[in-house]
Amino acid sequence: MKTIGTYFLMGLLVAIGGILFADTVGHLFNGMDYGSAVTVGIGMYVCIVVVTCTGILVSKMKREETEKEEE
């Protein structure tokens, strides 16, 4: 149960970070209307999260392969 709570908390923090990032981008891209700029910010944040998670998963898989080869 402790692990589930930890992952839930991490997911909540990532979601809050996404909201703050999208709002910041919405204010930075002041040449666009706010809704479109926030949509661009959410897209950018999702790309960052997907690339980061993919990198973590690939490195974990490679580490497990290396450990199996050593045995």
Strand ranges (E), 11-56: none
Give me the residue spans of the domains in the chain: 2-70
- Supply the pLDDT for residue 38: 93
- Supply the pLDDT for residue 2: 80
* pLDDT block averages, 10 residues each, the chain of length 71: 86 93 92 92 94 91 80 68
The model's pTM is 0.77
- How far, in Å, CA of 56 to CA of 19, rounded? 22
Q: Are 38 and 22 in contact (CB under 8 A)?
A: yes
What are the CA-CA distances from residue 63 to residues 14, 56, 57, 58, 66 (Å)?
25, 11, 10, 9, 5
